[in-house]
Chains A and B, each alone.
Chain A
Amino acid sequence: MREQIRSWLESGEMDAFLGFKEVEGHPIPHLFSKANLAELEGLIVNAPRYPLETLVAEMLQSQPGMKLGVLGDETTRRALNVLSIWNQVSPESVRVIDPDQFAPEEKGARKVFRVSEPGPVKLERGIDNRLGVDAIQALDGDDRVRRWMYEFQKCIKCYGCRNICPVCFCKECSLEHQDLISTGTVLTEVPIFHLVRAVHMAGRCIDCGMCEQACPADIPLRLLYRKVNSIVMELFDYENGLSSDQPPLSVLGEKVVLELKPIH
């Protein structure tokens, strides 16, 4: 894989390659280019998932037309697809290099995040992050709202879920809109903070799970957004990152196919 990247960089087929380099024991995002080919030896391929897509979008906006390679996998492809639908990257400028393609025998060697075991209080009052959407849906309505609110009220409003998100790019964020959500104050307003974010994930979330990993309060965000994705799939038949159309809540559509929900 390193040889392949080296030859691409040498031949100019790729202007730069975004990967990770070990700096004092930590994998740090690093841009490899023709000028520093020797550094390719230090390329790390099994780094934990980090939103390189955000860096790609930033780089392409400052230098449009640049041919960029980026270390990634299927989620990276989907994230870049979403970003290109939202006009944040031009798909022809980026090539995703998946280490698994080069060394299939090492597949799975990459560090993956683990969901922590819930403690007794979380089990009693909150939501086990390992549960699926169906398991939550099976809970009684009152219990469900209590459990979700328990999870949401743990939020310390660090904005980590938004900051790590590879498909969040808006310059003005609803989560900082003074009329909607007050900034600079804790406690977090529950549940509006998380539900506004969930609404914005409709047609965008690629289920990479980084928000949940970044969350210091261990809120089952991935589970919430998985539900958002399944609603979008059910109502609009749209799969984020795989469909190349505009997301359903951004366009009017040709006709109304949905039915009103009756009162009873």
Chain B
Amino acid sequence: MKAEPFEPKILAFFCNWCTYGAADLAGVSRLQYPPNVRPIRVMCSATVSPHHVLRAFQSGADGVLVGGCHVGDCHYIYGNYMTIKRIRFLQELLEFVGLGERLHLEWISSAEAQKFVQVVTEFTLKIKELGPSPLTVLSKGLPAMALSSPPPRENARAAVG
């Protein structure tokens, strides 16, 4: 049997005023892009707390994409000032624990359907290259999270009886 190709699950937070508009425009313009992205519309990219991103990874997302308005174009004037601080911080933290590069932030205005398609395509490709999230892989071994080779089970059972 041929192995199924890896189709990543990517969770996306798109701001209502810009990136979601771009996604809408991409759809109306019949532009093609990979179907791996599951969008969640938020009122502003600044409403995306680090908690949401961490929860996404904990729940098995292979990647998280955050889309907001360009700096200066935020519907709430300064919302994305906070977004970039949070996401840049979180990117560095995730990198340190080895989950790096699975979180991406992009500014996409509602007119930039082409850019939207390009970002989604590139990010999906990148996650495909990276492979499934290490958390999903490791958690299959939970609770012991056996990392190197697990102790030989059969022998252990035989010893018990």
Residues of A within 8 A of B (CB): 124-125, 133, 136-137, 141-150, 153, 174, 177, 180, 187, 189-192, 195-196, 198-199, 202, 224, 227-228, 231-232, 234-236, 248-249, 252-253, 255-256, 258, 260-261, 263-264
Contact = CB atoms under 8 A, between A and B. Distances in A.
Interface in B32-88: 50-51, 54-55, 57-58, 71, 78, 80-82, 84-86, 88
B93 A198 contact: yes
Contact of B92 (A124, A136, A187, A231): A231
Contacts, number: 119
A127 to B, nearest CB: 10
A40 to B, nearest CB: 46
Contact of B93 (A199, A236, A255, A264): A199
Interface residues of B, number: 43
A144 B58 contact: no
A145 B134 contact: yes
A252 B81 contact: yes
Nearest to B77: A252
A136 B96 contact: yes
B17 interface: no
A124 B97 CA distance: 17
Contact of B126 (A141, A255, A264): A264
Nearest to B46: A252
Interface string B99-131: 110001111000000000001001100100000
B42 to A, nearest CB: 16
Task: Count chain A CB atoms within 10 A of each CB in B57, B85, B105 and give the residue with the most.
Answer: B85
Contacts of B88: 235, 258, 261
B51 A174 contact: yes
Interface in B146-161: 147-148
B105 A260 contact: yes
B5 interface: no
A263 B123 contact: yes
A195 B93 contact: yes
29 contacts: A143-B98, A144-B96, A149-B134, A150-B145, A174-B51, A177-B51, A189-B58, A190-B139, A190-B142, A190-B145, A191-B54, A192-B54, A192-B58, A199-B50, A199-B90, A231-B96, A235-B89, A235-B92, A236-B85, A253-B81, A260-B84, A260-B105, A260-B107, A261-B88, A261-B91, A261-B105, A263-B104, A263-B119, A263-B123
Given A125-B148, A150-B147, A144 B51 contact: no
